[in-house]
Amino acid sequence: MFDSLSGKLQSVFKNLRGLGKISESNVSDSLREVRLALLDADVNFKVARDFIERVKEQAIGQKVIQSIQPGQQIIKIINDELVGLLGSTNSALDLSADPSCLMLVGLHGSGKTTSSGKLARLLHKEGRSPLLVACDVYRPAAMDQLLTLGKQLGLPVFARKGETDVLRIAREAMDEARATGRNTLIFDTAGRLQIDEELVQELVRLRDLVKPREILLVLDAATGQEAVNVATHFDQALQVTGSILTRLDGDARGGAALSLKTVTGKPIKFVGVGEKLEDFEPFHPERMASRILGMGDVVSLVERAAEAVDMDDAKRMEEKMRKGQFTLEDFLDQLRQMKKLGSLESIVGMLPGGADMLKQADLSKGEKEFKRMEGMICAMTLQERRHPQILNAKRRIRIAKGSGVGVAELNSLLKRFGQMQQMMKKMGKFQKMMSKMGGGGAAAAGMLRGGR
C-alpha cells in the first residue's frame, strides 16, 4: 500500500557506497524521492518544497558513515528535521482562567463534536469539571449528538434546542457554569467552510464574547492539499492556539499535520485514534514523522499487539518457546491471537520495510494458509497436538480427511512445525524480544516463511 521511502532511497544510493561525503548531485536525486513521498502523504506541495530545501542544505557535506547506507543517513536527517518541525514544547492546554473556555472549530465532518466529548472526558479525569456547550445550531441533531455523548460520559451538556443565536447560547452557558460551579467550558461549534465569511464571523463574535484561552482547530488526518488553506484561513480569522488531528486510526499518512504545523506554527495538541471516547491521546511527533515518511509504525503495532494479547499468556508462551515445549496446541492459540490483530496485510504494513514486502508477496494467500493450518490442528486430538511425534500414518490419514486437506499438506505442516521448534531453541534471545510484541506474530510468521 505505502511505497517504502527507504526502499526507494536505497536504490538511488545503490551506487554511492564508498563515497566519503554526500554531494549535491546525489542528494538531489534522493530528495526528489523524498518530495514524492511527502506529496504522496498529502503534505502541501509548497510546504514540501520548503522542507526539502532545508534538508538539502543540511545534508550536503555530511559524512556518509560507512557502516550504514547513505539512504538511511538522508532519512535520518529528514526524520530528525520532521520531528523537530512537528514537535513543540507548549502543547499543554492553558486552563489558567476561571472559568477556562475552549473552542473547537473546523470544517464539516472533521470530528469536532466527538473530539469535544473526548476532551471533556480527559479534562474530567484530570480533575476539572467541564461543561460541554452545544453551539452547532445548523446541522440537524448535532445537539442531540453532544447530549448523548454527555450522557455516556456522565458530564453536563448545555444545549438549547431550537435556539439559533450562538451568542445567546454562549452567554447562558457561561451563567450556567458559574451557577453550577463548572470551571471548564468546551464550545462545540458548527462545521463551516473556511471561506464562508458569514459563518467565520460568527466564530469571531463567539470568540470575542467568551474569550477562550484555547481555540483548537479540528482537522481530519486524511485532509489533502487543502489543509494549508483551511489552517491559514481559520488562523487568520481566529488566531487558533493549537489543533486536534482526528482519525489517525485510519491509514491516512497525515501529511496534513506538517502543513498545519508549518502554516500556523501552533502545536498539534491531541490526536483522535478511534471511535470510542477514550481513543484520544497527546500528539507524538516521532510517530507522526515516521508515518508521514511511510516508514512503518512499530509503536502502533506493539500497542495493537498489547491490546489483543494477554501479557500473561505471552509470557507463558515465551517460556515454552525457549524451553522448546512449544506444542501444536500453543501454535493454534497463536494463530488465533494473530487474527485478533487484524489482517496480515495491515500488520506487515506497519513494519519498517513492510510495504516493500507487501508488494512482492500476496498475503491473502498466506492468510488462507493460516486458515488451513488452523483446520488441520483442529482435526487433531489433544494428545496429538501435545505430542506430534505420535502421529503415525493412520492418524495422519484421519486428520487429513477430517480437515479436508491432502496428507502431503499435513506432512509439510508437521515438518515445518518441527523446524520451527528447532529454530526456537536456538534463538532464545531473539524471540524473547519478539514474544514481548505478542509472540504469535513471531511464531506464525516464521511458520509462513518456512512454507515459501
* Nearer to other proteins (CB atom), residue 155 or residue 405: 155
Out of 65, 68, 92, 141, the residue judged to bind other proteins by CB under 8 A: 141
Nearer to other proteins, 256 or 268 (CB): 256
419 grid coordinates: 523446524
Quick one: 94 or 144, whose CB is closer to other proteins?
144
CB of 7 to other proteins, least distance (A): 16
Q: Shortest Cβ distance from residue 298 to other proteins (Å)?
A: 17
Between residues 69 and 114, which has the closer beta carbon with respect to other proteins? 114
CB of 209 to other proteins, least distance (A): 25
128 neighbors 120 (Cβ within 8 angstroms): no
Tracing cell 488553506 back to the chain, one arrives at: 229
Nearer to other proteins, 208 or 278 (CB): 278
Helical axes 70-86 vs 5-12, angle rounded to 10°: 140
Is the Cβ–Cβ distance between 144 and 228 less than 8 Å? no
Q: How many angstroms separate the CA atoms of 290 and 287, rounded?
A: 5
**Residue 422 binds other proteins (CB under 8 A):** no
Q: How far is the CB of 316 from other proteins (least distance, A)?
A: 27
Could you tell me which stretch among 137-145, 177-185, 200-208, 394-402 binds other proteins (CB under 8 A)? 137-145
Q: Applying CB under 8 A, which of residues 21, 139, 359, 365 lies at the interface with other proteins?
A: 139
Q: Which helix (H) or strand (E) holds 238?
A: helix 227-238
Q: Kindly state the number of chain residues that form the binding site for other proteins, as judged by CB under 8 A.
A: 54
For other proteins, the closer of residues 82 and 93 by Cβ is 82
Does 278 engage in binding with other proteins (CB under 8 A)? no
User: The C-alpha cell of 402 is what?
Assistant: 477430517
Q: Please tell me whether residue 256 binds other proteins under the rule CB under 8 A.
A: yes
199 neighbors 193 (Cβ within 8 angstroms): yes
One-letter amino acid identity for 428? Answer: G
* Options 168-176, 225-233, 301-309, 324-332: segment touching other proteins (CB under 8 A): 225-233
Question: Mask: binding to other proteins, 31-60, rule CB under 8 A, as x and -?
Answer: -----x--xxxx-xxx--x-----------
**Considering only 23-31, 189-197, 315-323, 434-442, which stretch makes contact with other proteins by CB under 8 A?**
189-197
Task: Give the side-chain half-sphere CA count within 13 A for 239.
Answer: 5
Query: Do the beta carbons of residue 259 and residue 235 sit within 8 Å?
Result: no
Cis peptide before 267 (omega within 30 of 0): no
What is the identity of the amino acid at 26?
N
Of 253 and 269, nearer to other proteins (C-beta) is: 253
The answer to whether residue 149 forms part of the interface with other proteins (CB under 8 A) is yes
Q: Does 65 bind other proteins (CB under 8 A)?
A: no
Distance separating alpha carbons of residues 415 and 29, to the nearest angstrom: 47
CB 145 within 8 A of CB 115: no
Burial class (CB in 10 A: 0-12, 13-18, 19+), 426: exposed
Q: Which is nearer to other proteins, 41 or 177 (CB)?
A: 41
Residues 6+ apart with CB under 8 A from 416: 447, 450, 451
Output the CA torsion sign for 135, 137, 143, 149. Answer: negative
Q: By rule CB under 8 A, what string of x and - marks binding of each residue 88-127 to other proteins?
A: -------------------xxxxx-x--------------
Does residue 144 interact with other proteins by CB under 8 A?
Answer: yes
Closest among 262, 254, 258 to 221, alpha carbons compared: 254
Which of these ranges, 215-223, 262-270, 309-317, 440-448, lies near other proteins under the rule CB under 8 A?
A: 215-223
Residue window 318-347: x/- pattern of binding to other proteins, with contact defined by CB under 8 A: ------------------------xx--x-
Torsion angle in degrees (nearest 10) through CA of 133, 139, 145, 146: -10
User: Residue 71, SS3?
Assistant: helix
Query: Which secondary structure element, helix H or strand E, spans residue 184, and what is its range?
Result: strand 184-189
> Could you give the string, one character per residue 342-381, with x where binding to other proteins holds by CB under 8 A and - elsewhere?
xx--x-----------------------------------
The answer to whether 194 contacts other proteins (rule: CB under 8 A) is yes
Residue of 8, 56, 247, 291 interacting with other proteins (CB under 8 A):
247
The helix or strand, by DSSP H or E, that contains position 270, with its residue range, turns out to be strand 268-272
What is the nearest approach in angstroms of other proteins to the Cβ of residue 227? 8
SS3 at position 2: coil
Contact 436/314 with Cβ under 8 angstroms? Answer: yes
Which positions touch other proteins (CB under 8 A)?
1, 36, 39-42, 44-46, 49, 107-111, 113, 138-149, 152, 193-195, 220-227, 229-230, 247, 249-253, 255-256, 275, 342-343, 346
